[in-house]
Structure 1
Amino acid sequence: MDTLHTIDGDHVAWARELADGGARYAVASWIDVLGRPKSKTVPIDHLPNLLAGSERYTPRGMGGIGRMNPIESEGVAVPDPSTLRVLPWDRRVVWLAADLHVGPDEPFALCPRSVLKRQVEAAREMGYIAQLGVEPEFYAFRQESVGSNRLEPIARSGELKPSPAYDVESTLDSMPFLDRLCGYLEELDFGVFSFDAEGGEGQYEFDFAHRPVLETADRLTLFRLAARQAAKECGLFATFMPKPFADLWGSGAHFNMSLEDLDGTNVFREGTGWSKETYQFVAGILAHAPALSAVANPTTNSYRRLVDRLADGQVSWAPTKISYGYNNRSCMLRLPANRPAVENRAVDSAANTYLAAAFMLAAGLDGIRRGLDPGEPRDDLSYQAGIERLPRTLLGAVEAFENDPLTTEVFHPAFVRDYAEMKVAEWEQDHREVTDAERSTYLLNL
């Protein structure tokens, strides 16, 4: 079997050790635009070949990466050995994160992991190591309710009004699922420090230790796999759809990003306050916020989350304006008192972590390079008029993405072209639909 690199003798011994421990198969997952891992599966004794780049793919059209093209050059999965994990829900399988290459040292233009790695290197060239913590929210519903008009949460206690957020009974009723998922994450060394019932019926959030940004993105890939697997084992299904129902809270994935110097000292703190680099970093993100939305809020459904209020009139807690504050959760960006990081509350659960993190990091670094000023923080409800708004639709975000000069610094022109084409088509398809709600409003009244 042809390989991209020479087979390493140490990897042969590693494969034998894994096999002795019960492993039978290995997957080296590259990540598609939707954030889903893709891979062939090889017997464990072929792990050395896999690590040498033996597995080839025709990736276009798989998960939204461009248009299918049966005559294009193949991509090669180049695994990162440091990411190898035995999957705790199926110990026969070991998982690795991989980059897609089209040559020995040439990343595939549409490879999200490679996009993020370039920004990690850009930060390092400026003397920084980017760290990221993510607060993923998701819904878990009963499997038998799929296809019904109303998906059923795990426990009826989840229907508390106005919200089951932080409710202990709701959490305990869901513990068979949550305990299983927490156990998987602990085996994967996630450093889980809390989980809870969130604002929607059947909605949950897990919080775990922050890591260097690339490592966190790899972990989020595994987190989604683990959540879905644990749900299936409990007769449930887990979804990272940002807004399943108009009257339920949306699912965010708040990004808490910070910078350390090369000695590991956080540069966002200055004494007991925030450093000038923090404000410059914030200003850069705000300056590129409309374009960032195209990858931080990547679906038409995402923009049903970014509204001031839920269908029943409750404040949504989702940001809609390009603003920042300290303990102001109505703002897009928050400077929280308990951690030296910039919290981006606009990122939702559908976001590809690699793409959103790459653009957010690039925007923040741009703010530092240019010495940008974010202006005064907001200490009031930022939903009011007079503040620039985040894009209202996926189409608006994609147009901003195409027109922002930073976009082509972060992404290959082929990525910009194919991503914009895919997302505009998604918006157009959604815009063609005529819903029951529209008929109810307009059919007899017009």
Structure 2
Amino acid sequence: MDTLKSLDPAHNDIAKDLADTGVRYVTASWVDILGRSRAKSHPVELLPELLAGFARYTPRGINGIGVMNPVEEEVTAIPDLDTLTVLPWDTRFAWMAADMWSDRGEPFPSCPRSILKRQIQRAADQGYQCTLGIEPEFYVYRPENLHSGGFGDLTATGAIEPSPAYDVETTYDVADFLDDAVATMEKIGLKAFALGAEGGVNQFEIDFYYKDLLEMADRVTLFRLMMHQVAKRHGLAVSFMPKPFANLWGSGAHFNLGLYEYGKPEESVLRIGGSSVAGEDEWSKESKYFVGGLLKHARALTAITNPLVNSYKRLTPRLVDGSVSWAPIKIAYGPNNRSCMIRLPENRPAIEVRNPDASANVYLAGAFLLAAGLDGIANEIDPGPEMTELASERDEIERLPRTLLEAVEAFEEDELTHEVFSEDFIKDYTATKRDEWEKDHLPVGDAERTDHLVYF
């Protein structure tokens, strides 16, 4: 069987050990542009061939960018053995994160994992390593209760007004599912430290400890797959859609970026002194420059951190009932200001980027955010004064893009985009996202006719 690399006899022993525990199939999982897992699965005895690179794919159209071409070059999935995980919800399968390689022995330019690894290496060359913690929000519902106006009833407690956020009884109502999810998370390498009800009816959040950036991207990709599978065991469905209904809170996925001296995970570059902010000077000059880089490239970043037309229906100052949405819309930062794009939290040495949502591909988002922060440090970009007021009400502060189209245009124009991503990736990604925007924008719906047909 033709492979990119030579077979390693030691991998036969790993395959045998897996088979002895009941594993029947192995999966070298790559991700599409929206971070969804893609792969074939193979009998476990083919693990040595899989690790050497024999599983080939035609990735472009399937991958979600560009136009599928029947005569284009195939790419090969090369799995990372360090990520090997027997899936706790179905122990017949073992999963690995994979990079995509061309037959010329080069990383595939549109492989999200390879794009992230290049930026991680760039940080290492500058003496840094980056960590990431993510706060994913999601909705849980019974598929049979879904209707055009909402998710329907989930909990015995019912809707809590004005918001179920932090409501203990609502959490207890779905404890069987949440407990199963947390237990399964731990088996795939994510340890939870908090779980509970969020601001929308049927909305929840599970928070877990940070990891090195690449490991977190791998684990969160598996987490998304896991949550859907665990929910089905309870007759439920989970959605990470940014804004499923106009009258409900949007679901974000705040990125908490840490920066450390390379090889010294205890030596934070961002914080001076203890873990609690006693004064402004506890944040290092590097932290401010890092923030400066994020703010400088904010409009371009949103094309990756908020990649759907639907993402921008979350990034609004208010909900349809007039209440504050809590989603950031202004390019600003503050010490504990959740109305800003960037928050400097009081309880951890990490920079919280609040605008991303869980539809983002964590590899691509992590790569672009890290590159922006490093650009800030390299060029000592001043982020300006901290914002302590409600940022959405300050007209002089620049706003994040209002639409995916605006974000894509900013993405194309930003010089950093062309350093992080290949020109082929940029061309295909922007064309795909423009097409998504046009498909949403061009149709004329019933609401428009109701408002305009007779009046005009």
TM-score normalised to structure 2 length: 0.96
1:276 corresponds to: 285
CA distance in 2, matches of 1:166, 1:230: 23
Q: How does 1:110-189 map to 2 (within 5 A)?
A: 110-146=110-146, 148-189=148-189
CA distance in 1, matches of 2:450, 2:361: 35
Post-superposition shift, 1:258? 1.1
CA distance in 1, matches of 2:447, 2:134: 35
What secondary structure is seen at the aligned counterpart in 2 of 1:61?
helix
CA distance in 2, matches of 1:289, 1:139: 27
Post-superposition shift, 1:153? 4.4
- Maintained 8 Å contact 2:138/2:204: yes
- Maintained 8 Å contact 1:292/1:359: yes
- Maintained 8 Å contact 2:149/2:245: no
1:359 corresponds to: 368
Please identify, of 157-166 and 422-431, the stretch whose mean Cα deviation from structure 2 is larger. Answer: 157-166
Quickly say closer, same or farther: Cα 1:158–1:354, change in 2 above 3 A. Answer: farther
CA distance in 1, matches of 2:428, 2:147: 32
Post-superposition shift, 1:402? 0.3
Q: How does 1:55-70 map to 2 (within 5 A)?
A: 55-70=55-70
What secondary structure is seen at the aligned counterpart in 1 of 2:27?
strand
1:226 corresponds to: 226
Cα RMSD for the two superposed structures: 1.2
Please identify, of 142-151 and 228-237, the stretch whose mean Cα deviation from structure 2 is larger. Answer: 142-151
Instruction: Letter of the 1:29 partner, please give it.
Output: S
Instruction: Letter of the 1:400 partner, please give it.
Output: A
2:191 corresponds to: 191
Post-superposition shift, 1:307? 0.3
CA distance in 1, matches of 2:233, 2:348: 35
CA distance in 2, matches of 1:64, 1:13: 37
Instruction: Letter of the 1:324 partner, please give it.
Output: Y
CA distance in 2, matches of 1:210, 1:228: 22
2:299 pairs with one of 286, 290, 300: 290
Instruction: Letter of the 2:415 partner, please give it.
Output: P
Instruction: Letter of the 2:341 partner, please give it.
Output: M
- Give the gaps of 5 or more residues in structure 1: none
What secondary structure is seen at the aligned counterpart in 2 of 1:333?
strand
What secondary structure is seen at the aligned counterpart in 2 of 1:340?
coil
- Maintained 8 Å contact 1:140/1:153: no
Q: How does 1:367-386 map to 2 (within 5 A)?
A: 367-384=376-393, 385-386=395-396
Instruction: Letter of the 2:235 partner, please give it.
Output: G
| Per-residue Cα deviation, 1:301-320 (whole angstroms, up to 9, x for no partner) | 00000000001111000000
- Maintained 8 Å contact 2:195/2:205: yes
CA distance in 2, matches of 1:310, 1:339: 30
- Maintained 8 Å contact 1:158/1:164: no
1:21 to 2:21 alignment: yes
Instruction: Letter of the 1:235 partner, please give it.
Output: G
What secondary structure is seen at the aligned counterpart in 1 of 2:110?
coil
- Give the gaps of 5 or more residues in structure 2: 275-281
Instruction: Letter of the 2:454 partner, please give it.
Output: L
| Per-residue Cα deviation, 1:67-102 (whole angstroms, up to 9, x for no partner) | 100001110001000001010000000000001010
CA distance in 1, matches of 2:149, 2:392: 31
| Per-residue Cα deviation, 1:350-391 (whole angstroms, up to 9, x for no partner) | 111111111000000000000110000000000011110000
Post-superposition shift, 1:157? 2.8
What secondary structure is seen at the aligned counterpart in 1 of 2:327?
coil
2:410 pairs with one of 382, 385, 400: 400
Aligned residues: 446
Percent identity reads 55
CA distance in 2, matches of 1:62, 1:189: 28
| Per-residue Cα deviation, 1:151-206 (whole angstroms, up to 9, x for no partner) | 22421535211111111111111112111111110112211111111111111111
| Per-residue Cα deviation, 1:216-256 (whole angstroms, up to 9, x for no partner) | 01111111011101111111111111000111000000000
CA distance in 1, matches of 2:150, 2:387: 38
What secondary structure is seen at the aligned counterpart in 1 of 2:408?
helix
1:420 corresponds to: 430
1:387 pairs with one of 387, 397, 410: 397
| Per-residue Cα deviation, 1:290-335 (whole angstroms, up to 9, x for no partner) | 0000001100000000000001111000000000001100000000
Instruction: Letter of the 2:408 partner, please give it.
Output: V
- Maintained 8 Å contact 2:294/2:376: yes
| Per-residue Cα deviation, 1:386-417 (whole angstroms, up to 9, x for no partner) | 11000000000000000000001000100000
What secondary structure is seen at the aligned counterpart in 2 of 1:6?
coil
CA distance in 1, matches of 2:165, 2:390: 21
TM-score normalised to structure 1 length: 0.98
1:310 corresponds to: 319
| Per-residue Cα deviation, 1:26-74 (whole angstroms, up to 9, x for no partner) | 0010111011111111001111111111100011100313210000111
2:354 pairs with one of 320, 345, 351: 345
Post-superposition shift, 1:104? 5.8
Instruction: Letter of the 2:285 partner, please give it.
Output: K
CA distance in 2, matches of 1:295, 1:211: 21
CA distance in 2, matches of 1:334, 1:57: 41
1:442 to 2:452 alignment: yes
Instruction: Letter of the 1:283 partner, please give it.
Output: G
Instruction: Letter of the 1:232 partner, please give it.
Output: K
Please identify, of 430-439 and 22-31, the stretch whose mean Cα deviation from structure 2 is larger. Answer: 430-439
What secondary structure is seen at the aligned counterpart in 1 of 2:259?
strand
